[in-house]
Amino acid sequence: MRLLDRAIAAVAPGWASRRAVARVQLRQVERIGGAMRTRRRPDAWRINDPATRRWEARQGKPMSRWDRAMIREIFDLNPFAAKLLNALLNNAIGFGITATLKGSDAERAAWLKWERHCDYDGVLDLYGLQELIACTMFVDGEVFIVLRAEPNPSGIPLQLQVLDADMLDTTAALANTRLRDGIEYEGEGGSGRPVAYHFKKSREIETFGDPVWVPAAQVIHLFKRRRPGMRRGRSHFEPVLDVLEDVDGYLEAEGVRKKIAACFVGFRALRVEAVGPGMGQV
């Protein structure tokens, strides 16, 4: 206790107790407020508010890098969003979608071995890749699976590389071609189908360099096509993002209110009056 507080407590104990309670309440509010600012930004969705998410304004357009980053942050920090995503993944993928293998024992053994070495990054097996692909598609709206002819311990020269939309080189430009957001389409007189994809070499800015040109036949562009002519995917959770933020904010506010209410302390003074030998009255 500071000197001023001790002096006040000696003269006016009630006032000193009220000062102590108010100080505890203030520290509690500052701590919770700082956690809330770290966890969520109130104006985070200003750039992606419902007025700018109308279909007419975004037809055929992908979500911006900023919007994808904000959606990922919500599903990383919002407990309701994380539970929603996990429930969806458990119902869609679970422990992995398996197949009944036919063929000789050697072919089945080769397949089981390839399952363990099919990841181009060497981190996941086939079922882990399934969950990663589904999770990326649900949150980002789209995902790219690149078929790589790479030798690996399984003996089957095929591996799967999973890339998100951030790996598209949107700065690439070629003459006399239809190149949009890193995807090259057939030119005049063609069907407008993708011809190739231009991916960054790395996520590190200093190692971007020239993009890697990958033929469309080697890329699986997985997304949900909601409208005719839609060429890029959008997050499956876009319609409920504002609701998730509102529910999370409401519960946070309730938690702050109850923590502040718990800081209030009341005192009752008892006065004893003597009425006789060995007797007292409150």
Q: What is the 3-state secondary structure (H, E, C) of 165-195?
A: HHHECCCCCCCCCEEECCEEECCCCCCCCEE
Exposed (0-12), middle (13-18) or buried (19+): which is 132, by Cβ within 10 Å? buried
β-sheet bridge partners, residue 221: 144
Instruction: Report which secondary-structure segment, H or E, holds 123.
Output: none
- H or E element, residue 120: none
pLDDT, residue 244, reads: 79
CA distance 58 to 39: 29
pLDDT exceeds 60 at position 282: no
Instruction: Please say whether the beta carbons of 147 and 220 come within 8 A.
Output: yes
Helix, strand or coil for residue 210?
coil
| pLDDT confidence of residue 175 | 58
223 falls in which pLDDT band (50, 70, 90)? Answer: very high
| Strand-pair partners of 280 | 274
pLDDT tens per residue across span 47-98: 444 444 444 445 556 677 888 888 888 888 888 888 989 999 999 988 888 8
- Residue with tokens 């990922």, as numbered in its chain: 72
Q: Tokens 């020269």 sit at which residue? A: 157
CA 208 to chain centre: 25
